[in-house]
Amino acid sequence: MKHFFNRKDTIVTEALDGFLATAGSGALARLDGYPEIKVVLRADWDKTKVAVVSGGGAGHEPSHAGFVGAGMLTAAISGEIFASPSVEAVLAAIRATTGPAGCLLIVKNYTGDRLNFGLAAEKARAEGLAIEMVIVADDIALPDIAQPRGVAGTLFVHKIAGHLSESGHDLASVAAAARAAAKDIVSLGISLSSCSIPGQAHEERFGADDGELGLGIHGEPGVERIALEAASKLVAIMAERLAARLDPHSRYALLINNLGSVPPLEMSLIANAVLSSSLAKAVALTIGPGHLMTALNMNGFSLSLIKLDAEREKALLAPVGLHAWLPAKPVRAPVVVAMAKPVTGTATKPASRDAAAERLIKAVCQKLISLEEPLNALDAKAGDGDTGSTVATGARSILERIDTLPLADNAATAAAIGDTLGTSMGGSSGVLLSIFFTAASQALGSGTSLSRALVAGLDRMAFYGGARIGDRTMLDALEPALKALDASGLEAAAEAARQGAEATAAMQKAKAGRSAYIGRQLDTADPGAFAVAEVFAAVAALFAPA
């Protein structure tokens, strides 16, 4: 897999410098000692309060440096990618931040972190500093393991301890609250791919139709391979396992964490699935969805829950002086605002039957639905590969409403089809076809013949869309077909559409539509023109003499 980097051995230091340069507040600094000592700390820290220090390997950004600031971490120590920071780096962070109030170290439950942070703590104590350490082991993926991993639930501990420190609590109370919180956190992750490390060869261990449940934040294999299913089903599996560890009489905060490369669209869908699952009744606060503790570019997410009490809720809701933390928010049902009614307009015509019209509409829609995959494949060569799905969506929406159409009235039917396509299809094609049928409806209403009315619709569509013959769009097939239909009939129209669609394959550069943004020469037919030709061929066959 490809990555943006300069040299493997400078990735982390360059990234930290980029982070500090763009943080903007001036409230953050780093210790000197690069590259061995990689510590980001609060520039305004005066050591009168309990220092809250955490860290670990790089590759989990924005954790841990992104959570340094008022109300959360005092300092974060980074190792190389997925490697624990050294004892010397941890000790440097402790010395830089710890005064008479002492220091709390928050450590994820990995051997390297426990040992390096632990030895640093012992050395700091030998220097006379007051040090406490809490180990977070929130991963429930491996229920029988003696030492569960520390994963994204660690951030709850960062937030609670940071709030208590900022509020002036002493080391004993901050440490006690952090340890109690750590015991009340459960987390579980799932991914559809493993992560890749810059500068290292990557071999994907996942199949095309599976993922892993319970894998670690360093790319460790999951507890089990899981078949790719609908997101709601995958979330339901996770929810069932998490719910088994919850107190049914308690309220919880939920952290929805993007492990690296899940698009925001999918993360919001996942959030909706979680809040529709068996976990929903227990969740009072949500944090995310968003990037909080990642695993480089892992295509997965994790869910973490912490049992709430009044103090924890107050801590999680408290504002912080850093940009990476996502504020906790109460769960709220979506607010739905009623759509406004049209101020003016013609009344909708009642449904009516016409066998020939129904036969024609069904034939066209069924043909377009059958073309979904071929059209997507054509569009993928020059666009985003969704023309077939967009057109099929419009066709299905018309079929679903066919019993409500005023089929005995051509003008009213065209208007209804235009309204349906404008609402259901989306994108430019939906609007263009809505314009086409709406304008054709107006022409039919004034007594124009069907073929002439369709030409009138074409004229309006071309005007608003800005395309002309030769621009490599659906017009290259639709315009000659409709003109042939008006002049010579259906068979001639089908032949003209076919020739027009074939001509688009020889056009070196599109001048309109999404294909216009492609700099290279295209050698396939325009998907819109291809669809028009296929529809005319289907209609011609439908009405061909027996």
Residue 515 near residue 383, CB atoms below 8 Å: yes
Beta bridge partners of 58: 81
Diameter over CA atoms, the chain:
101
> Which residues are bridge partners to 106 per DSSP?
54, 134
Active-site annotation holds for 218 = yes
**φ, ψ of residue 465 in degrees (nearest 5):** -80, -25
> DSSP letter string over 138-177?
-B-SSTT-SSPPP-TTHHHHHHHHHHHHHTT--HHHHHHH
Backbone angles phi, psi at 519, to 5 degrees: -80, -25
Alpha-carbon gap, residue 240 to 244, rounded angstroms? 6
92: amino acid identity, one letter: A
Nearest to 367, CA basis, from 395, 326, 386: 395
Selected catalytic residue, list 169, 218, 249, 323: 218
* Residue the block writes with tokens 């009490």: 309
Measure the CA–CA gap between 254 and 235, rounded to whole angstroms.
14
Residue bearing tokens 């103090």: 311
DSSP label at residue 340 = P
The CA-CA-CA angle for residues 350, 352, 356, to 5°, reads 145
Residue 408: is it exposed, middle or buried by C-beta count within 10 angstroms (0-12/13-18/19+)? middle
416: left (phi over 0), alpha (psi -120 to 50) or beta: alpha
Catalytic residues: 218
